[in-house]
Amino acid sequence: MIRALIAFLGWFALAGLNDVPPVNGALIADEGYPQRLSEFRFFLDDYAQTPNARVHSYALNTPLFSDYAAKQRWVYVPEGQQALYNDDGTFDFPVGSAFIKSFGYPADFRDPDGEIRLIETRVLLRREEGWVALPYVWNEDGSDAVLRRAGRRMPVSWIDEAGETQQVSYRVPNQNQCKSCHQMNGEIELIGPNARNLNNGTRLAQWVDWSILDRAPENAPRVPVWDDPADGTLDERARAYLDVNCAHCHRRESGASNSGLFLTYDEDDPVARGIRKRPVAAGRGSGGFDFSIAPGRPGESILLHRMISSDPGVQMPELGREIIHREGVALIRAYIAAMEPQG
Amino acid sequence: MKLLAAATLSLLATTSAFAATHPVEAGPDAQERLQIALIEAAPGDTVEIGAGRFELTDGLSLDVDNVTVRGAGPNVSILDFTNQQGAGEGLMVTSDDVTLRDFAVENSRGDGIKSKEADRIVYHNLRVEWTNGPSPDNGAYGIYPVESTHVLVDGTTVIGASDAGIYVGQSQQIVVRNNIVRFNVAGIEIENSYVADVHSNIATENTGGILVFDLPNLMQMGGHSVRVFRNFVHNNNTDNFAPEGNIVAGVPAGTGIMVMANRDVEIFENILSDNASINIMAVAYTQEFDDENYDPTPRNVIISDNIQGRAGYAPDFEGGAQLATALGGSLPPIMWDGVGGRIVINEETPAITLGLTEAGQSRTEAQPQPYAMRADVTDNRLDAVTLPESMESRLR
C-alpha cells in the first residue's frame, strides 16, 4: 500500500511538475525508423539520464562484455500493460514495449561515477511483427543520438582503473548485426532480460511493483554474478559468463547452431559444452588445438584461444568485442584449469 | 485484349514492376553506403555494386529475402577486406532466395561469403580470393553456405582458403558446378549434407581436390546421396596449410577425391591425374568420438567410368611411402581403408584396400591388398539434383 502510494506520488510529481508528454508509444509500435532517439521521449533530458514515466533502470547479474563500456539499461512497458512471466523464465512483452541500452565510457575509470560520455544507444522495439533492433549514435555535443542502421566505427579512449590510457576502434553494430546476436529461430529475441539473469532476490519483485511484470515466482531461476566468488561456484560463474557472452549464438536455435558448441547455462552434454569437442568450421580460429576445451589445459583450449585474440578471423565473440576481457579470460582459464585432465 | 493487358500487368507487378535497383559506387564511406543498401533493399530489389575496389573495414550482411547483389564482374567489382577489423566473414547472408553474382571478395580475415539458413541461394560468377596465395593466415572458407535447402554454386573461382574453397555444410539439395578452385586446402567440401551434385568443376593445386565428409556431434549428420562427376581433378599437391585441429588438416597433400563417413556416393566420369597421394579414396572417420547417432564408415560408394592418370607416386600419409615401395614405387589410383562396405569399382583402374576393419584402427595394423569389386548398379543410381526453376532462371 505504501509502495503503491509512493509510486503514485512519484508519478504525480513527474506529471505535475513538468507536465511532460509520455513516451511516444506510437513510434515504438508503428512501422518506420525514427531518425533521432529523442523522438521516442524515453528521457526527460537531452542526454538520456532522466527517465520518463514508466521507463525504469535495471541491471543484470552477469552482463555481456562490450569493450569495457559502461552500460545503462532501461525498460519501458506501456501504461496498463505488463510482461508475462513464462514458466521457462523468459518474458513476453506487450506490443509497444521497449528496451533502451546506452553504451559509454567515463573519462577516467578511477572515477566511475564521473560523467559518462555516451557513444551509442541501442533500442529494441516490440512491434506487432516482433522485436525491431535499431542503433543510435550520439552526436559529438551529446545533444541527441541519430539512427545509424549501417552501424559505425569510431575511435574511443579512456583512462582505465590502473591509470593507463586505453584506446579502441569502437564498433557500433549495424541493424543486421543487432539481429544476428538477438535472433532465435529467425526471430529477434531478448538476451539479457530474463528471470535468471535479472533475479538477484529483489529485482523481479521490483519489476512487479513497477507493474511491468505480472508475477515474480519465489523459485525463479537465477544465474550468479560472474565476478563475485561469494555468489556461485567457479563452474556456475563460468557457465553464467559463457551463457551471456556466447550462448546468444552458441545454442541450437541461433547463429552458431552449425558449430555444435552450445553454451547455454543449463547445457549438460559435455561435448556440446566444448569438452574434448573438435572444431568444425573454426579455420585458423583453432589455433592449432584439437579441442574447444581440453580439460585441465586452458592453454590448449580453442575456446580460450579465441577469447584472447582480437583478430576478426579468430576472435570470439565475432561481434561487439575489439579488445580482450582480461577478467573474463581469467575466469574461463580457471574454469578449464579446474577440470580433470582426460586423454 | 483488356484481360490480356491486365494479366500482363499483374505478371509485371509480381516480378519487376516494383523492383528497385540500389547502385553503390566505390569511394569514401563505401562501408556505410553498401551496408545501407543491403539493409534498405526490399524483396525483389537489386543492389548493384559498381566497378572498382571497395575498401571495407567490417563485415557486410544481408537479411532481406529475394534480393540480388550484383557487380560488374568478378575482376571488376572488388570488395576488399584487407583492412577488415570486425566480423567473422566478408559478406553474411541470412535470408532466402538471394542471388550473389558478378563480384569479388578479397582477403577477408575470416570466411569469404557465408550464408546460413538461406534457402534457394545462388552464388554465380564470383571470385573469392586470398591474394597472397596459400597461407594458414587466410580465412577458412571461401564460399560457405550452411544449414540451407537448395544451394547453387555456379561458375565461381575460389583461391587460397585455409580450409575449403567451396564448403557446403549441413545442407540439402545442393549443386556445385562449373567452378574453379585452386590453392585451397580443400577445393570443394560437402560436409554433413544430403543430396548433392558436384560436377563440371576444375579442382587443381589444392591439398585435396574434392571432399565428401561427415563429422560427429553436429545437428545434421549422416551425409548421403552425393554425386561427384565430370570434374577435372588434377595436380592437387599443395602442402597442407590448414591450421591444426581442423579436420582438413588431416587431408594428405596429393588427394584427388576423398569420401569419409558418407553413404550412397557416386564418383564417375571425372578426369583425375597427378595427385601424388591418391586419385580417389574412401575412408572412415578416424578420431575418437562420443556420439551414438554417428556412423563413421563409408558405405555404398560407387566409382565408375573415370579417366585416371598418374597417382600415388608420393603418398603423404603415414605408412604411404613404405606401401608405395612395396607396390613397386607407387600406389594405385584408388584406395579404400577397408572399413564400412560395398565400395564398388566399375572401371579398369587398379585399387587397394588397407584391410582395416574398424573406424579409428591404427594404420600400422593395415593389411594392404589389391581390391576389386564390380557390381551391376544400373537399376540403383541416384537421381540428378533438381533445383527450383526460380534458381536456374536467376542465372540468365
Residue B12 belongs to some domain of the structure: no
Q: Are B312 and B278 in contact (CB under 8 A)?
A: yes
Angle between helices B30-40 and A175-182 (to 10 degrees): 60
Rounded to the nearest angstrom, the minimum Cα separation between A74 and chain B is: 27
Q: Which residues of A touch B149 (CB under 8 A)?
A: none
Q: Which residues of A touch B117 (CB under 8 A)?
A: 186
Residue B229 belongs to some domain of the structure: yes
Sequence-separated (6 or more) residues with CB below 8 Å from residue B12:
none
CB–CB contact A287 B36 (8 Å): no
Residue given cell 567457479 in the structure block: A234
Determine how many CB atoms are found less than 10 A away from the CB of residue B315: 23
Number of structural domains chain B divides into: 1
Q: Which residue of A has its CA nearest to B147?
A: A258
CB–CB contact B63 A271 (8 Å): no
CB–CB contact B86 A280 (8 Å): no
Q: What are phi and psi of A308, to 5 degrees?
A: -100, 15
Closest Cβ–Cβ partner in A151, A252, A271 for B290: A271
Residue B76 belongs to some domain of the structure: no
Give the DSSP H or E segment for B272: strand B271-273
Residue B236 belongs to some domain of the structure: yes
Q: Which residues of B touch A186 (CB under 8 A)?
A: 117
Q: State the Cα–Cα distance between residues A60 and B123, nearest whole angstrom.
A: 43
Q: A13 pLDDT exceeds 80?
A: no
Residue B13 belongs to some domain of the structure: no
Strand arrangement, sheet containing B172-177: B21-24, B46-49, B68-70, B99-101, B121-124, B149-154, B172-177, B194-199, B224-229, B263-268, B299-304, B341-346
For chain A, positions 183-202, list CB contacts with chain B under 8 A: 186
Q: State the Cα–Cα distance between residues B66 and B18, nearest whole angstrom.
A: 13
Q: Which domain holds residue B216?
A: 130-377
**Does A278 lie at the interface with B, CB-CB under 8 angstroms?**
yes
Q: Which residue of A has its CA nearest to B108?
A: A313
Question: For each of chain B's 396 residues, which pLDDT tens digit applies?
Answer: 444 444 444 444 444 557 999 999 999 999 999 999 999 999 999 999 999 999 999 999 999 999 999 999 999 999 999 999 888 899 999 999 999 999 999 999 999 999 999 999 999 999 999 999 999 999 999 999 999 999 999 999 999 999 999 999 999 999 999 999 999 999 999 999 999 999 999 999 999 999 999 999 999 999 999 999 999 999 999 999 998 888 899 999 999 999 999 999 999 999 999 999 999 999 999 999 999 999 999 999 999 999 999 999 999 998 899 999 999 999 999 999 999 989 999 999 999 999 999 999 988 888 999 999 999 988 889 999 999 999 999 998
> How many CA atoms are closer than 13 Å to the CA of A232, on its beta-carbon side?
21
Q: State the Cα–Cα distance between residues A284 and B244, nearest whole angstrom.
A: 8
Nearest alpha-carbon partner for B241 in B320, B372, B137 = B137
Rounded to the nearest angstrom, the minimum Cα separation between A9 and chain B is: 45
Q: A296 pLDDT exceeds 90?
A: yes
Q: What's the whole-model pTM score?
A: 0.90
Q: Which residues of B touch A156 (CB under 8 A)?
A: none
CB–CB contact B32 A287 (8 Å): no
Residue B80 belongs to some domain of the structure: no
Strands B263-268 and B224-229: parallel
Number of H helices, E strands in chain A: 8, 12
Length of chain A: 343
Mean pLDDT of A278-283: 87
Determine how many CB atoms are found less than 10 A away from the CB of residue A155: 8
The confidence score (pLDDT) of residue B198 equals 98
Residue B4 belongs to some domain of the structure: no
Sequence-separated (6 or more) residues with CB below 8 Å from residue B271:
B231, B232, B233, B234, B306, B307, B309
Cell of B215: 563429422
Q: What are phi and psi of A20, to 5 degrees?
A: -80, 145
Mean pLDDT of A12-38: 83
Instruction: Compute the count of residue pairs across chains A and B with CB atoms less than 8 Å apart.
Output: 146
The confidence score (pLDDT) of residue A20 equals 84
Q: Which residues of B touch A148 (CB under 8 A)?
A: 32
Q: State the Cα–Cα distance between residues A271 and B218, nearest whole angstrom.
A: 10
Q: What is the pLDDT of residues A113-165, one digit of tens each?
A: 888 899 999 999 999 999 999 999 999 999 999 999 999 999 999 999 999 99
Burial class (CB in 10 A: 0-12, 13-18, 19+), B189: buried
Nearest alpha-carbon partner for B335 in B361, B311, B357, B359 = B311
Mean pLDDT of A47-54: 95
Q: State the Cα–Cα distance between residues A280 and B215, nearest whole angstrom.
A: 8
Please give the ipTM for the structure prediction.
Answer: 0.86
CB–CB contact B245 A312 (8 Å): no
Q: Are B154 and B122 in contact (CB under 8 A)?
A: yes
Q: State the Cα–Cα distance between residues B183 and B159, nearest whole angstrom.
A: 5
**Does A304 lie at the interface with B, CB-CB under 8 angstroms?**
no
Residue B22 belongs to some domain of the structure: no
**Does A280 lie at the interface with B, CB-CB under 8 angstroms?**
yes
Q: Are A244 and A263 in contact (CB under 8 A)?
A: no
